[in-house]
């Protein structure tokens, strides 16, 4: 490692692996020990203190590396898991104790010291997965979003990484998901922030175990064919005194102006015009991909990166935009098979375009407009839905402008919004019927899928980080049937490429009737080179023994999904036998039509294999 070049890259904002230089690293110097390196340009003196030197501020004085603001010292004989902090005297001699910004591990809250950990010892056996993984544009992606401390618990304690490895991975596999998305697992002091108010950007949280155990979890996911996505927060950080705030007595990671530094969450915004901060955050992102083999990063609150304070009226934050483009450029260059996902509530253009084409460089963007429109529609009394018919058609008017991902995330299960099933209109049973309809719409709609844990068992209680999911609900047939329904949706989705192969081209989706507002029925089809899948959605409690719908191909169509099937606790008004087309009336949009049975609030998927053309047969 060339120290001079590392420091130069750090100061230029192009350092992508600063975790290999800063922090605490075991070395073979002088018979073995740990070299500590930290950036504190405004400090008068810096020392490393810990149990190994009885927290003596004079025992391990660090040396300044020229005029770079970098301090370093070698301490012999330190053992793994030792706790430490940096003792810093600011330019006025005021003493400060800080955790290591580049620490690989930390004490469990409420303690705040960093811990020495040898990151070189991690063992991997996921080579086959790593060779075949991709960004998944033409692959099925169904993400199970998880708060690690609240999926299951052992009495008052959350599951460990080992317990999640033993139980979460088989659960995800059994129910047909392709990826697990973990709410932030960087270290953080306040449980109620769910990890979104971070203190340790390179430190996997000690709440659930240690780095070795977390790496084992990721390795086991990969061996089971499950990808791992992790949330990251490049916008803001906690104000706690032991953290990044006023790190060496002056603003270093945050903006100097108070109005720019203060965030809406009671935290501090990163100064993304600062080159050293850029290197810090880019390195933090690459760290999880390099050291822990993470398959995707979902960046939180991207609108707050685009606009000052997330407020369009304050204008774009050009320094922050430059940082995003630089970060995504390096991430895509160094890890071309890793997914970069933006949680962005703005309509800023070209979020998922390449940085080389003037875009921000993300691979996917959460479609929060689709999510909001869809849930508002399903909350409506069916009597009024015909006046809001466009809420379910509007998404396809803009869908191909970005690569959108369809989320029903943790944000839709908290803060009084109510859970997904509880937001549906009607009686208890009608809520379930409409939730099944909702998910048939979601899985047939172009775009990758994301569901928060508990959505699949139709939880009624909102997410609470102190409690596990209400697994007892599965003892009630209506809930266990709903879980089976979501599992079947996932497995049908996985086995029919037309539902995902052409998500982001104009070739895979066509409306049959987007304008049947009076009956509040929607019909469209998905297609690839081998098959068509027809989707018909009835949004009212009216039933139809003979609902006529146009189809793109003559022949016999077979029902592959009906949301009202009895095994899903529905009314069992299904199309049990294959249905032959008949000629359409003159002037119809399609030459051929089907007559379907369509249940109240029913969703029907019909399938037919594509006929080969004579040219193909020849």
| pLDDT for the residue 416 | 86
Q: How many CA atoms lie within 13 A of 418 on its CB side?
A: 11
DSSP state letter for 194: T
Burial class (CB in 10 A: 0-12, 13-18, 19+), 610: middle
Torsion (CA) 384, 561, 457, 572 in degrees, nearest 10: 80
Vertex 375: Cα angle to 174 and 391 (nearest 5): 120
Residue pair 104/211 in contact (Cβ under 8 Å)? The answer is yes
| pLDDT for the residue 3 | 87
223's CB contacts (< 8 A; 6+ apart) are 125, 126, 129
| pLDDT for the residue 277 | 98
Active centre residues (catalytic): 300, 343
What distance in Å separates the CA atoms of residue 572 and residue 83, rounded to the nearest whole number?
62
Residue pair 532/551 in contact (Cβ under 8 Å)? The answer is yes
- Residue 231's beta-bridge partner residues? 298
Place of tokens 């850029």: 278
Burial class (CB in 10 A: 0-12, 13-18, 19+), 16: buried
| pLDDT for the residue 615 | 46
- Prior bond of 110 cis (ω within 30°): yes
CATH superfamily of 509-617: Golgi alpha-mannosidase II (2.60.40.1180)
What distance in Å separates the CA atoms of residue 235 and residue 360, rounded to the nearest whole number?
15
Q: Assign residue 182 a region (left: φ > 0; alpha: ψ between -120 and 50; beta: otherwise).
A: beta
| pLDDT for the residue 586 | 84
| pLDDT for the residue 191 | 93
| pLDDT for the residue 587 | 81
- Give the distance, in angstroms, between the CA of residue 48 and the centroid of all CA atoms in the same chain: 36
Q: Where are the beta strands (DSSP E) in 68-185?
A: 70-76, 83-89, 95-98, 105-106, 114-115, 142-146, 153-154, 157-158, 179-182
Q: Where in the chain is the domain with CATH 2.60.40.10?
A: 3-121
Place of tokens 């102190």: 466
DSSP H or E stretch at residue 405: strand 404-408
**Statement: residue 64 has pLDDT above 80:** yes
**Statement: residue 6 has pLDDT above 70:** yes
| pLDDT for the residue 616 | 40
Alpha helices in 368-508 (DSSP H): 368-379, 395-398, 420-423, 428-444, 477-495
How far CA 48 is from CA of 34, 59, 84, 263, 273, in Å, comes to: 11, 8, 7, 31, 29
Q: What is the pLDDT of residues 370-401, one digit of tens each?
A: 999 999 999 999 999 999 999 999 999 999 99
Q: Where in the chain is the domain with CATH 3.20.20.80?
A: 141-499
- Residue 142's beta-bridge partner residues? 449
DSSP H or E stretch at residue 419: none
What distance in Å separates the CA atoms of residue 69 and residue 72, rounded to the nearest whole number?
10
Sorting pLDDT into bands at 50, 70 and 90, what band is 618? very low
CATH number of this structure's domain 141-499: 3.20.20.80
Query: What mean pLDDT, rounded, does the chain reach?
Result: 96
Q: How many CA atoms lie within 13 A of 227 on its CB side?
A: 24
Q: What is the pLDDT of residues 69-118, one digit of tens each?
A: 999 999 999 999 999 999 999 999 999 999 999 999 999 999 999 999 99
Sorting pLDDT into bands at 50, 70 and 90, what band is 153? very high
**Statement: residue 164 has pLDDT above 90:** yes
What's the first-to-final CA gap in the chain, in angstroms? 62
How many other C-beta atoms are found inside a 10 Å radius of the C-beta of residue 612? 10
User: Nearest to residue 33, comparing CAs of 57, 56, 53?
Assistant: 53
Residue range 302-320: mean pLDDT, rounded: 95
What distance in Å separates the CA atoms of residue 123 and residue 6, rounded to the nearest whole number?
26
Q: Is the pLDDT higher at 275 or at 618?
A: 275
Percent of the chain topping pLDDT 70: 99
**Statement: residue 263 has pLDDT above 60:** yes
Residue pair 591/584 in contact (Cβ under 8 Å)? The answer is yes
Sorting pLDDT into bands at 50, 70 and 90, what band is 171? very high
Sorting pLDDT into bands at 50, 70 and 90, what band is 1? low
**Statement: residue 613 has pLDDT above 70:** no
Residue pair 443/449 in contact (Cβ under 8 Å)? The answer is yes
pTM to 2 decimal places: 0.95
Q: Where in the chain is the domain with CATH 2.60.40.1180?
A: 509-617
**Statement: residue 345 has pLDDT above 60:** yes
User: Nearest to residue 544, comparing CAs of 607, 602, 589?
Assistant: 602
What distance in Å separates the CA atoms of residue 89 and residue 49, rounded to the nearest whole number?
13
Place of tokens 């320094």: 319
Of 403-417, 487-501, 560-574, give the lowest mean pLDDT range: 403-417
DSSP state letter for 553: S
- Sign for the pseudo-dihedral over CA of 149, 309, 359, 450: positive
Burial class (CB in 10 A: 0-12, 13-18, 19+), 582: exposed
Count Cβ neighbours within 10 Å for each residue of 45-81 and write b for 16 or more, e otherwise: bbbbbbebbebebeebebeeeeeebbbbbbbeebeee
CATH number of this structure's domain 3-121: 2.60.40.10
Percent of the chain topping pLDDT 90: 94
């Amino acid at each position: 490692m060339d120290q001079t070049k590392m420091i130069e890259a750090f100061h230029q904002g192009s350092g992508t692996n600063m975790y290999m230089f800063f922090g605490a690293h075991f070395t073979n110097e002088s018979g073995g020990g740990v070299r500590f390196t930290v950036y504190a340009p405004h400090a008068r003196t810096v020392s490393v203190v810990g149990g190994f030197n009885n927290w003596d501020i004079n025992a391990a004085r660090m040396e300044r590396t020229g005029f770079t603001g970098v301090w370093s010292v070698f301490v012999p004989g330190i053992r793994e898991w030792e706790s430490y902090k940096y003792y810093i005297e600011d330019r006025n001699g005021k003493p400060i104790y800080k955790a290591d910004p580049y620490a690989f591990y930390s004490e469990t809250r409420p303690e705040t010291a960093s811990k020495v950990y040898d990151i070189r010892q991690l063992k991997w056996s996921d080579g086959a997965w790593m060779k075949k993984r991709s960004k998944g544009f033409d692959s099925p992606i169904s993400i199970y979003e998880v708060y690690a401390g609240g999926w299951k618990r052992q009495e008052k304690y959350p599951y460990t990484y080992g317990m999640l490895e033993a139980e979460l991975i088989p659960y995800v596999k059994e129910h047909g998901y392709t990826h697990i998305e973990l709410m932030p697992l960087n270290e953080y002091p306040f449980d109620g922030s769910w990890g979104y108010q971070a203190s340790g950007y390179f430190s996997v949280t000690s709440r659930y175990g240690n780095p070795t155990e977390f790496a084992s979890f990721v390795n086991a996911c990969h061996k089971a064919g499950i990808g791992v996505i992790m949330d990251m927060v490049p916008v803001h950080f906690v104000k706690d005194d032991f953290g990044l705030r006023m790190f060496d007595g002056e603003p270093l990671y945050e903006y100097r102006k108070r109005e720019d530094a203060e965030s809406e969450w009671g935290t501090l915004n990163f100064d993304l015009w600062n080159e050293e901060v850029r290197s810090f955050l880019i390195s933090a992102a690459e760290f999880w991909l390099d050291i822990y083999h993470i398959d995707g990063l979902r960046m939180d609150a991207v609108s707050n990166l685009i606009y000052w304070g997330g407020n369009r009226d304050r204008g774009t934050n050009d320094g922050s935009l430059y940082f995003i483009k630089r970060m995504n450029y390096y991430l895509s260059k160094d890890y071309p098979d890793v997914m970069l996902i933006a949680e962005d509530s703005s309509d800023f253009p070209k979020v998922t375009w390449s940085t080389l084409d003037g875009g921000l460089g993300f691979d996917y963007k959460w479609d929060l407009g689709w999510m909001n429109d869809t849930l508002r529609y399903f909350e409506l009394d069916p009597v009024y839905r015909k006046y809001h018919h466009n809420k379910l058609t509007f998404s396809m008017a803009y869908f191909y402008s970005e690569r959108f991902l369809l989320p029903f995330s943790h944000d839709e299960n908290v803060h009084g919004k109510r859970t997904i099933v509880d937001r549906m209109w009607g009686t208890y049973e009608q809520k379930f019927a409409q939730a099944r309809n909702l998910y048939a719409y979601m899985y047939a709609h172009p775009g990758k899928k994301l569901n928060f844990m508990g959505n699949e068992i139709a939880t009624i209680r909102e997410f609470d980080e102190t409690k596990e999911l209400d697994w007892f609900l599965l003892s009630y047939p209506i809930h266990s049937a709903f879980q089976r329904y979501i599992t079947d949706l996932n497995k049908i989705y996985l086995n029919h490429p037309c539902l995902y192969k052409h998500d982001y081209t104009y070739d895979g989706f066509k409306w049959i009737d987007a304008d049947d507002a009076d009956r509040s029925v929607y019909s469209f089809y998905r297609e690839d080179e081998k098959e068509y899948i027809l989707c018909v959605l009835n949004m009212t409690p009216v039933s139809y023994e003979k609902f006529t719908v146009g189809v793109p191909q003559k022949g016999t169509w077979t029902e592959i999904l009906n949301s009202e099937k009895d095994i899903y606790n529905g009314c069992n008004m299904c199309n049990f036998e294959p249905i032959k087309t008949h000629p359409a009336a003159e002037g119809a949009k399609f030459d051929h039509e089907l007559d379907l049975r369509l249940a109240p609030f029913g969703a029907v998927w019909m399938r037919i294999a594509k006929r080969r053309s004579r040219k193909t047969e020849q």
